[in-house]
Amino acid sequence: MTKFVYDFNEGNGSMKDLLGGKGANLAEMTSLGLPVPRGFTISTEACIEYLNSNRQLSKDLELEIFKHLKQLENKTNKSFNSSSNLLLVSVRSGARSSMPGMMDTILNLGLNDKNVEVLAKATKNSAFAYDCYRRLLQMYGDVVYGIDSHYFENYLTHYKSKNNLIYDQDLTTDDLKEIVKAFKGIYKKVLNKEFPQNPNIQLLEAVKAVFSSWNNERARVYRSLNDIPSDWGTAVTVQEMVFGNTGNESGTGVLFTRNPTTGEKEIFGEYLMNAQGEDVVAGIRTPVPISELQIDNPNIYLQIERICEQLEKHYEDMQDIEFTIENNQLFILQTRDGKRTAKSAFKIAVDLVEEGYTTKEKMISKINPQSIDQLLHPVFKPTALDEATVISAVGLPASPGAATGKVYFDAETAVEKSLAGQKVILVRHETSPEDISGMNVSEAIVTSRGGMTSHAAVVARGMGKCCVVGCEELEINEKKRQIKYNGGILNEGEVISVDGTTGIIYLGAVDKKATETDQSFYTVMEWAREIADLKVRMNAETIEDIKAGLEFQAAGIGLARTEHMFFSKERLQEMRKFILSARKTERLKALENIMTYQITDFTKIFEQTKDLPITIRLLDPPLHEFLPHSEQEIEEVAKQQGLTNTQLKQRISELNEVNPMLGHRGCRLAISYPELYLMQVEAIMRSAAKLNKKGISVKPEIMIPLVGMVEELEQLTKKIKIHIEKLLEELNTNVEYEIGTMVELPRACLVADELAETADFFSFGTNDLTQMTYGFSRDDAGKFINQYKSDQILEDDPFQTVDKDGVGRLIETAVKLGRSTKEQMDIGVCGELGGDPKSIEFFHEVGLDYVSCSPFRVPIAQLAAAQSTIKYDTIKGEVFS
């Protein structure tokens, strides 16, 4: 005969298939010798047999259940029929994995008209006993007999209002007795049946109800959605109830085995004597720090200390434990890995590894990479936030941080006020490259339009600067220099606070608290870099950004955007001369001037990055981005360039594009104006040569953007190589360099084998690739991506987490095709997704060499990369076997 019922001490944590998740966990704790309330589990096989036998419990099974019930009574020295040591049990369902939709829990099973008095006597608390009874009646009626719980709720509400009572705890024993009576009446009315007074019958009915709930509609729908086979079945766990409120020898508490805020090795928690768990939560009595238990009950405290150490060793992590003391006897109700702050996570990880409790790999795989954001940016004090006035709550948290400053509506004023010593916040409909100087001096950037990958968001993240975008309910009036918000008007120069982690904007200043990293953070990051297969580079071109990334030990630069170097005043002027001048000599002169600037830039950059790999992207944006927009600017620029306003407007209109994202940009510009790229590579190579002569071996990786056709790449690469070879001969030196391409068009992925014939390396530009694959403009899609997410059309924003089915397939194809031509080709990713942990796992899986992201995301990416390696090696059995 199959064994269907397992005592907790007959199982362990690995028996989830048979005992369900809960049953297996309780068995595990029991097998560790912990004082877990005793009980047994009826197996999933019993469930299947029940369902296959026309929903009949076999006599054998009934006998087996009662045999285990008897054993339970013996072990606990309690009984359903005892008038002193009353046995009450909880009955819970438990499938292999947690599964919503099934009946969950019945507490206090065993209570009846007689036992309720026994419980009242034992706890010296009739109100508690009758409250337990009325709860049992309610739960049991609902889950076992399907009595609509509204019947009970409505009566309770009605009763309280009739008696002018507000809270459940205001109910007296008399009230509760009347309610119990009424609840039993509901059974009679609805079912024409009495509530079963016999605890044995209560138990059998409850077991049948749990088994049956495996096949109720919600459970079946959930299974089919999640591909869970219907023949798994559910187990039923029956466990002794313990009460912390039976007197002063009893109590209840929660604790962490280490301090979850600081990570210090100390038992941290609180407890209440003569109380139930709810009492702690309800806040009627104030719990006491766990340290006092050492004085109140040194014996129990000693047990707890031992258990803490044992559990940390067993689960290899800091634990969060619930316990109850019943008549001076300690029971552990639950233990699980404890939640902790980002800061403490690192300390705990380092301590546990150093104390020999666990391995680097295990601790690293448990830290949430995103939590590093918390660590690296200051945050508002939660208490201060509670009191602050919200003026926008719908913005997207584009770049984390907590910033307070005065509002300005244009870059120029922001710069001016900043120079005057003010802390400023730039607020715009949306930003454009001309705003960069203003963004650079601002504490935060706020826009009313755009999504997570809008210009403002991308640039701010690159700068590690707090940014909230798409605050659609802010009506910005740039002319009046005002913001209209729901509740008032905010004028230029008034103060707001911006929370880049939540996307909320507050009126006035909000207090901040600093967060700081300590040695353990750096230790963990060092481990992560050792473990990770995938290298992490940074997207950076300013000296500040590069220094930030180098502090995090970025493995080089994966994307240096040269166009960002064109937007300061004098350079923009030269660039405009190049675009606007009719005379070739002037155009070439302009380029020469720009080259001088670029040589200075690249030299400074190379001095930082030295022999680290550095990928430099040649000019990418369309030319119209360099031209002025407003009437005033047009007038100024026309004067500067010696044109009439009409001529300038004519040129602007010629360069204007209906869909600039799909327009004349990237390598297409260089096909039209090869001199642009040649100037840039000359500046790169001259700078590199300069450093090489000083003994610093720079090896630039020159990247051509927006290539869709092999012919584009061939033509440009050839021209560039000829130019470089001539230059090096002229300089009489040798500099190693590579020429590769950004893979950011679907077509590039499809012809990657051909591209690899010419390209020395690939770097995926996931922003554009996602835009083209979905046909989404990142500037416009914000409008509907949110709705798509709430309608569950999109699970994740594909600009934030790689879309494996679409974009991911193209990336996989490109990697395979590229390596089919050049097996050892260096392939990385430099788009926004390079800093997203879920995406990083995917990039690791498809075999990339590195990811590149904003400097402030480098540690996040390093951790995620290590986690992916650990996960992969675990699957291959290399680490934990």
User: In this chain, which stretch among 397-405, 407-415, 476-484, 739-747 interacts with its own copies, using CB under 8 A?
Assistant: 739-747
**75 touching its own copies, by CB under 8 A:** no
**736 touching its own copies, by CB under 8 A:** no
**198 touching its own copies, by CB under 8 A:** no
Could you identify the residue written with the tokens 């009970």? 152
Catalytic, out of 667, 830, 844, 853: 830
**627 touching its own copies, by CB under 8 A:** no
AA letter at 678: L
**789 touching its own copies, by CB under 8 A:** no
How many other C-beta atoms lie within 10 A of the C-beta of residue 14? 11
| Residue 455 annotated as catalytic | yes
Of the residues 229, 775, 824, 875, which one makes contact with its own copies according to CB under 8 A:
775
Residues 748-767 that bind its own copies (CB under 8 A): 750-751, 754
How many other C-beta atoms lie within 10 A of the C-beta of residue 12? 17
**646 touching its own copies, by CB under 8 A:** no
**781 touching its own copies, by CB under 8 A:** yes
Q: Shortest approach of its own copies to residue 536 CB, angstroms? A: 28
Q: What's the number of CA atoms in the CB half-sphere (13 Å) around residue 440?
A: 16
Helix (H) or strand (E) holding 715: helix 710-731
AA letter at 290: I
Q: Shortest approach of its own copies to residue 469 CB, angstroms? A: 14
| Residue 815 Cα to chain centre, angstroms | 27
Q: 522 vs 784, which CB is nearer to its own copies?
A: 784
Cα→Cα distances 247→83, 273, 296, Å:
17, 8, 14
Catalytic, out of 455, 624, 723, 844: 455
**478 touching its own copies, by CB under 8 A:** no
Has 768 been labeled as part of a binding site?
Answer: yes
Closest CA to 182 of 146, 211, 157: 157
- State the Cα–Cα distance between residues 342 and 372, nearest whole angstrom: 6
AA letter at 835: G
Of the residues 35, 101, 378, 746, which one makes contact with its own copies according to CB under 8 A:
746
User: In this chain, which stretch among 88-96, 302-310, 687-695, 710-718 interacts with its own copies, using CB under 8 A?
Assistant: 710-718
Of the residues 205, 240, 797, 803, which one makes contact with its own copies according to CB under 8 A:
803
Q: 376 vs 652, which CB is nearer to its own copies?
A: 652
Q: Is 302 helix (H, G, I), strand (E, B) or coil?
A: helix
User: In this chain, which stretch among 44-52, 268-276, 433-441, 804-812 interacts with its own copies, using CB under 8 A?
Assistant: 804-812
**657 touching its own copies, by CB under 8 A:** yes
Q: Shortest approach of its own copies to residue 503 CB, angstroms? A: 20
Q: Shortest approach of its own copies to residue 246 CB, angstroms? A: 54
**838 touching its own copies, by CB under 8 A:** no
Closest CA to 863 of 521, 540, 559: 521
- State the Cα–Cα distance between residues 431 and 454, nearest whole angstrom: 8
Q: Is 359 helix (H, G, I), strand (E, B) or coil?
A: coil
**771 touching its own copies, by CB under 8 A:** yes
User: In this chain, which stretch among 167-175, 302-310, 704-712, 854-862 interacts with its own copies, using CB under 8 A?
Assistant: 704-712
- State the Cα–Cα distance between residues 22 and 30, nearest whole angstrom: 12
User: In this chain, which stretch among 88-96, 519-527, 667-675, 850-858 interacts with its own copies, using CB under 8 A?
Assistant: 667-675
Has 617 been labeled as part of a binding site?
Answer: yes
Of the residues 320, 768, 836, 849, which one makes contact with its own copies according to CB under 8 A:
768
# of chain residues touching its own copies (CB under 8 A): 49
Partners of 105 in the β-ladder: 92
Has 405 been labeled as part of a binding site?
Answer: no
Of the residues 323, 776, 843, 850, which one makes contact with its own copies according to CB under 8 A:
776
How many other C-beta atoms lie within 10 A of the C-beta of residue 102? 22
Of the residues 284, 726, 783, 847, which one makes contact with its own copies according to CB under 8 A:
783
Q: What's the CA angle centered on 654, arms 650 and 656, to 5 degrees?
A: 115
**225 touching its own copies, by CB under 8 A:** no
How many other C-beta atoms lie within 10 A of the C-beta of residue 496? 26
> In what side-by-side order are the strands of the sheet with 495-499?
390-392, 505-507, 495-499, 402-408, 424-428, 444-447, 466-469, 396-399
| Residue 667 annotated as catalytic | no
Contacts of 63 (CB under 8 A, 6+ apart): none
Residues 714-733 vs its own copies: string with x where CB under 8 A? -x------------------
Q: Shortest approach of its own copies to residue 782 CB, angstroms? A: 10
**810 touching its own copies, by CB under 8 A:** yes
Helix (H) or strand (E) holding 768: helix 766-774
In terms of phi and psi (left: phi > 0; alpha: psi -120 to 50; beta: otherwise), the region of 401 is: left
**673 touching its own copies, by CB under 8 A:** no
**396 touching its own copies, by CB under 8 A:** no
Of the residues 81, 663, 719, 721, which one makes contact with its own copies according to CB under 8 A:
663
How do beta strands 614-617 and 557-561 pair? parallel
User: In this chain, which stretch among 236-244, 509-517, 571-579, 666-674 interacts with its own copies, using CB under 8 A?
Assistant: 666-674
Has 633 been labeled as part of a binding site?
Answer: no
Q: Are 867 and 534 in contact (CB under 8 A)?
A: no
Burial level of 269, CB count in 10 A (0-12/13-18/19+)? Answer: buried
Q: Shortest approach of its own copies to residue 847 CB, angstroms? A: 19
How do beta strands 390-392 and 319-326 pair? unpaired
How do beta strands 390-392 and 505-507 pair? antiparallel
B/e letters for 108-120, b = 16+ CB within 10 Å, e = fewer, are bbbbbeebbbbbb
Binding residues: 561, 617, 744, 765-768
Binding residues for substrate: 561, 617, 744, 765-768
Binding residues for Mg(2+): 744, 768
Active site residues: 455, 830
Q: Could you list the residues that contact its own copies (CB under 8 A)?
A: 657-664, 668, 671-672, 706, 708-709, 711-712, 715, 744-747, 750-751, 754, 768, 771-777, 779-781, 783-784, 787-788, 791-794, 803, 805-807, 809-810
